Chain A
């Protein structure tokens, strides 16, 4: 600890010292601290671990003493850590290190370690005192955000590629007198502009939801009529799949038809996207006393159980060799779920890897329309 700081706190420490030795006080404090802490001597051998450390690693203090703690560091991070420790021991300077530490349950968690050199009252180096903060969740979110930026740039570049070629073709055809080709290329270029615009709107919706400024333009309408009209539209957009519509319902909902359409369309285009080798999507309408529901089932690659709870999270893209070859920014389901929730509803997912996938969008029935039934 800093000598000046010690001197400043001397009166308080002396007061405590009448009850406990300084060493006992340190150990008491360290044991009450929520983060893992440790102390090493001048030979870089550990001499102390607090309760939080032992609880985190799930190991006994005897196992951790000396160099025992090294066993808990992820093998891929150990060399990097040892280099940092060596340098710090030689220079007697403060350091930070990020590494994966094995938790009691066997999971490696990213921790951020802060090491502070200790000196005796004669200013002689006396080892290090360090603490670790679990930064695993932060690291995971950071990683997901980096992946999102990569995915978003990929998505935006794809229509730009087509647009670029169309414009190149136009510049070649212009003046050659073929009106038909000219129109075809112009509409090709415009379609790609629309796609880029759609992608940018998704990004804007994302920031609107984040800031809580997504406004709904509500009206009361027939859910069945809306679903039917979207299925009709999507049959044109997704010619690769037959969209089969089953079920009849009468419930009306109060909401923003544009936004609900957006959520439902997203479920349909996902169904087509992840079942490229299949040609069927089943849409089913049903209702109970509280909600109208529409489910979308595809027979594609499926979703493993461990990812089902995460697919509605922002930027989440299912990891895996096959999964990572699909385009997308990892925001469609997040946006759709937020839209459903804004209407008091929900989207639920059922699937297994390589099994059929069923998404169900549920919106509460508008009360006054129930009375008229």
Chain B
């Protein structure tokens, strides 16, 4: 079972993402605190990270860059998301693998998740 870590400062988003992704058969962990992103990644060892751009006191893009520059975590694909217009334009240089704008279509999100994990949905 593929493991996904979701990082977002909005706890409502976290709880519904947890339901959604668990239902789709993933093992999910979530955190609303930016400073927990790296330790959680090290302990949980996710196969994919969904990372918000603005996380109350932390810049998700900086977290992404840290993940990508760490040898232990650099291989983990990161999909960033944001409701902030214009956020998409700035994420590539931080090493994120993909971006999805909020509010997103669930099918579209799942397509991106599966693509990053190399899953071919039946």
Q: Which A residues are closer than 8 A to B by beta carbons? A: 150, 153-154, 157-166, 168-169, 172, 185, 188, 191-192, 195, 273, 276-277, 301, 321-322, 324-327
CA distance A164 to B106 in the complex (A): 8
The verdict on A277 contacting B16 (CB below 8 Å), with A158-B10, A164-B106, A165-B106 known, is no
| B56 proximal to A (CB < 8 A) | yes
Q: A169 and B59 in contact (CB under 8 A), knowing A153-B85, A192-B12?
A: no
In the complex, chain B residues 77-122 whose Cβ is within 8 Å of any chain A Cβ: 83-86, 102-106
- Which of B9, B15, B59, B83 lies at the interface centre, i.e. has the most chain A CB atoms within 10 A of its CB? B83
Partner of B104 from the list A164, A273, A276, A277 (CB cut-off 8 Å) is A164
Other A-B pairs, 10, CB within 8 Å; known A153-B85, A160-B102: A161-B13, A161-B102, A161-B103, A164-B106, A169-B19, A169-B23, A188-B15, A276-B56, A277-B57, A327-B56
With A169-B23, A325-B54, A325-B56 known to touch, is A195 a contact of B103 (CB < 8 Å)?
no
Chain A residues within 8 Å of B55, by CB: 325
Residue of A nearest to B21 (CB): A165
B12 in complex: contacting residue of A154, A159, A276, A326, CB < 8 Å: A159
In the complex with contacts A157-B83, A169-B23, A162-B16 CB distance below 8 A: yes
Query: Bound state CA distance, A158 and B14, in angstroms?
Result: 11
B-side contacts of A168, CB under 8 Å = 20, 106
Does the CB pair B83–A158 fall under 8 Å? yes
Chain A residues near B106 (CB-CB < 8 A): 164-165, 168
Partner of A150, one of B17, B20, B85, B103: B85
CB contacts (< 8 Å) of B20 on chain A: these are: 165, 168-169
User: How far apart sit A168 and B83, CA to CA, in the bound complex (Å)?
Assistant: 19
- B59–A166 touching, CB < 8 Å: no
B75 at the binding interface (Cβ < 8 Å): no
Q: Do B12 and A327 touch (CB < 8 A)?
A: no
A-B pairs, 3 with minimum CB distance: A157-B83, A161-B103, A168-B106
By a CB distance below 8 angstroms, the chain B residues around A321 are: 59
**Which partner residue on chain B sits nearest A321 by CB separation?**
B59
Contact across chains for A188 and B16 when beta carbons are under 8 A apart: yes
**Cβ 8 A contact of B57, one of A159, A165, A195, A325:** A325
The answer to whether A166 and B16 touch across the interface, beta carbons within 8 angstroms, is: yes
Please give, as numbers and ranges, the residues of chain B lying within 8 Å of A159 by CB-CB distance.
Answer: 12
Q: A150-B85, A165-B20 given as contacts; is B12 within 8 A of A277 (CB)?
A: no
Tell me whether B104 and A162 are in contact (CB under 8 A).
Answer: no
Pair B35/A153 contact, Cβ less than 8 Å: no
Q: B65: CB under 8 A from chain A?
A: no
Contacting pair B103 A157 (CB below 8 A): yes
The chain B residue sitting closest to A324, CB to CB, is B54
Residues in A whose Cβ lies below 8 Å from that of B34: 325
How far, in angstroms, from A325 to B9 measured CA to CA in the complex?
A: 10
- Complex Cα spacing A327 to B54, Å: 8
Complex Cα–Cα for A326 and B105 (A): 24
Q: A157-B102, A165-B17 are in contact. Are A277 and B33 (CB under 8 A)?
A: yes
Chain A residues whose C-beta falls within 8 Å of the C-beta of B103 in the assembled complex: 157, 160-161, 163-164
Taking a contact as CB atoms under 8 Å apart, the answer to whether A327 and B19 are in contact is no
A64 nearest CB across to chain B (Å): 40
8 Å CB interface, B1-46 against A: 9-10, 12-13, 15-17, 19-20, 23, 33-35
A/B interface sample: 21 pairs, CB < 8 A: A150-B86, A157-B83, A157-B102, A158-B102, A159-B12, A161-B83, A161-B104, A162-B13, A164-B103, A165-B20, A169-B19, A169-B20, A169-B23, A172-B23, A185-B19, A276-B9, A277-B57, A301-B57, A321-B59, A322-B58, A326-B56
Q: Which residue of A lies closest to B33 (CB)?
A: A276
**Residues on the B chain within 8 Å of A165, using CB:** 16-17, 19-20, 106
Closest residue of chain B to A323 (Cβ to Cβ) is: B57
A157 → chain B closest CB, angstroms? 4
The residue in B58, B59, B103, B104 that gathers the most chain A C-beta atoms within 10 A of its C-beta is B103
CB distance from B35 to the nearest CB of A (A): 7
Which residue of chain A lies nearest to B82 when distances are taken between CB atoms in the complex? A154
The smallest beta-carbon distance between A319 and chain B, in angstroms, is 14
- Chain A residues near B17 (CB, 8 Å)? 165
